[in-house]
Structure 1
Amino acid sequence: MGGLTNLDAVFVAMAFCVPGYVFLVVRGHIVPGHRTRGTESIIRLLSVSTLNFMLWAWAVYLVLGTDDLPLWTRPAIWTFAILVSPVVMGVLSGLATKWGVLSKIYRQMSFHPVHVIPTSWDYAFSKPEPKFLIVKLADGSIFGGLWGTKSFASDEPAERDIYIEKIYKIDKDTGVWTGTDRSLLLKGEHIRSIEFIPFPEGE
Structure 2
Amino acid sequence: MPDLKSVESVYLVLGFIVPGMIITLVRAQFFTGRVRTLSENVVTYIALTVLYYGMAAPVVEYVLSIREPGRAKIFAWLGLIILLPTAIGFAFGFLGQNDVFRRILQYFKINPVHAAPSAWDYAFARLRGDHFVMVTLSDGSTVSGVYGSHSFASSDPTERDLFLQEIYDVDSDSWKKRSEQQAILIPSKEIKHVQIWNPKGV
Bigger drift between 104-113 and 35-44 goes to: 35-44
TM (norm. structure 1) is 0.79
* Letter of the 1:93 counterpart: F
SS for the counterpart of 2:200 is coil
Unaligned runs of 5+ in 1: 1-5
Aligned CA distance change for structure 1 residues 93 and 85 (closer, same or farther; 3 Å)? same
SS for the counterpart of 2:133 is strand
**Aligned-residue offset at 1:75:** 0.6
Question: What residue is the counterpart of 1:141 in the other structure?
Answer: 141
**Aligned-residue offset at 1:53:** 4.2
Q: Distance in 1 between matches of 2:41 and 2:144?
A: 38
Question: What residue is the counterpart of 1:102 in the other structure?
Answer: 101
Contact 1:34 1:117 survives alignment (8 Å): no
Question: What residue is the counterpart of 1:3 in the other structure?
Answer: none
Contact 1:33 1:119 survives alignment (8 Å): no
Number of residue pairs matched by the alignment = 190
Per-residue CA deviation, residues 48-79 of structure 1 (Å, 9 max, x unaligned), is 2333345354344333xx3xx36223212211
Contact 1:34 1:118 survives alignment (8 Å): no
Per-residue CA deviation, residues 85-126 of structure 1 (Å, 9 max, x unaligned), is 101111121122123222222122211222222211112211
Question: What residue is the counterpart of 1:112 in the other structure?
Answer: 111
Q: Distance in 2 between matches of 1:123 and 1:89?
A: 21
Question: What residue is the counterpart of 1:62 in the other structure?
Answer: 65
1:84 aligns with 2:93: no
Question: What residue is the counterpart of 1:130 in the other structure?
Answer: 130
* Letter of the 2:71 counterpart: W
RMSD value, Cα: 2.7
* Letter of the 1:118 counterpart: P
SS for the counterpart of 1:200 is helix
Unaligned runs of 5+ in 2: 1-5
* Percent sequence identity over aligned pairs: 26
Question: What residue is the counterpart of 1:13 in the other structure?
Answer: 13
Aligned CA distance change for structure 1 residues 200 and 102 (closer, same or farther; 3 Å)? closer
From the CA coordinates, give the structure whose radius of gyration is larger: 1
* Letter of the 1:164 counterpart: L
Aligned CA distance change for structure 1 residues 85 and 178 (closer, same or farther; 3 Å)? closer
Aligned CA distance change for structure 1 residues 110 and 75 (closer, same or farther; 3 Å)? same
